[in-house]
Structure 1
């Protein structure tokens, strides 16, 4: 079954989806040991209020114009999310063209369906429209994302040892990527 086109998050229309967005992030942390801002407690549970509060803050950044979130629904009924990605567009006089790709998350229930390709494709369109032609991102060495980004045209910058603490408490290395969207014009 093919996916519908991705959707640009609009706080006025999609705020009710924030619990789903937070749940996908929690699922990725708990099931994949993903470095994604939060850790589970000592009993292996996520504090969903903290994760939801994080996404409420991201929603406010969308309203302020410093963030865009791309949603991928599982099917045309637009009730279940398959995944998402966001781009942070910091206000900067020295790098007004930079977008930082953050939180590309795909629900474990919807993997290997092209979600990453779809949401990143739309994210790149939105970034271009907003004058953000240089995209940067990071991921954990050994994660599935490490292999997805090069397939989508992102170039590896390098590896930073001990760049984060995973949900199990281990120091892990991080890998940085970039993409210059002007190269595709």
Structure 2
């Protein structure tokens, strides 16, 4: 792949149109990979409810505006014409843990995998996390998704497994989830 521009921090004032690409990528990852990512396809049609997913990303955009979330975007070019992948950092209010953050929805377009997109957006997410004082990051991923091998390569430590954590979008079987953390201090 040609040289990629650096990942960028989602800005609601300029990146609202990108929410449609994020929504479609979210749906593609669920349908194509069976990714456990909040939404299930319709049982009878196998299709995703795109308006519902878009509404979800619009609500997360509002969290960005409020300062309780950051979204990192990787585009294919400087013109930001095509989104390759993204990840979100949840930064909920907590007096007992103002330094914690939750890594959510690391999604890479199926056509842009194996190009270092996950590593790039996670690196930027960690950089921004440190800037915002969020230095203990936690995340979860489904066992068997392949992502359980990505996070240790990025320096995340396995905490444990939650059995029967989520519903697989294709089989509707309950899947086990693996928890990870990374201390950036």
**What's the TM-score once normalised by structure 1's chain length?**
0.97
Q: What are the ranges of 5 or more consecutive residues in structure 1 without an aligned counterpart?
A: none
Question: What pairs with 1:66-85 in structure 2 (closer than 5 Å)?
Answer: 66-85=68-87
Aligned length: 182
1:7 Cα offset (Å):
0.5
Question: What pairs with 1:12-161 in structure 2 (closer than 5 Å)?
Answer: 12-42=13-43, 43-161=45-163
Tell me the SS of whatever aligns to 1:146.
Answer: helix
1:179 Cα offset (Å):
0.1
Task: Return the alpha-carbon distance in structure 2 between the equivalents of residues 166 and 124 of structure 1.
Answer: 29
1:72 Cα offset (Å):
0.3
CA RMSD of aligned residues (A): 0.6
1:76 Cα offset (Å):
2.6
Task: Return the alpha-carbon distance in structure 2 between the equivalents of residues 153 and 87 of structure 1.
Answer: 17
Instruction: Tell me if structure 2 keeps the 8 A contact 1:22–1:48.
Output: yes
1:126 Cα offset (Å):
0.6
1:98 Cα offset (Å):
0.4
Task: Return the alpha-carbon distance in structure 2 between the equivalents of residues 36 and 88 of structure 1.
Answer: 15
Tell me the SS of whatever aligns to 2:20.
Answer: helix
1:4 Cα offset (Å):
1.1
**What's the TM-score once normalised by structure 2's chain length?**
0.97
Task: Return the alpha-carbon distance in structure 2 between the equivalents of residues 142 and 177 of structure 1.
Answer: 15
Q: Does residue 176 of structure 2 align to residue 173 of structure 1?
A: yes
Task: Return the alpha-carbon distance in structure 2 between the equivalents of residues 95 and 65 of structure 1.
Answer: 16
Task: Return the alpha-carbon distance in structure 2 between the equivalents of residues 124 and 26 of structure 1.
Answer: 25
Q: What are the ranges of 5 or more consecutive residues in structure 2 without an aligned counterpart?
A: none
Task: Return the alpha-carbon distance in structure 2 between the equivalents of residues 109 and 77 of structure 1.
Answer: 19
1:158 Cα offset (Å):
0.7
Task: Return the alpha-carbon distance in structure 2 between the equivalents of residues 75 and 130 of structure 1.
Answer: 27
Task: Return the alpha-carbon distance in structure 2 between the equivalents of residues 98 and 4 of structure 1.
Answer: 28
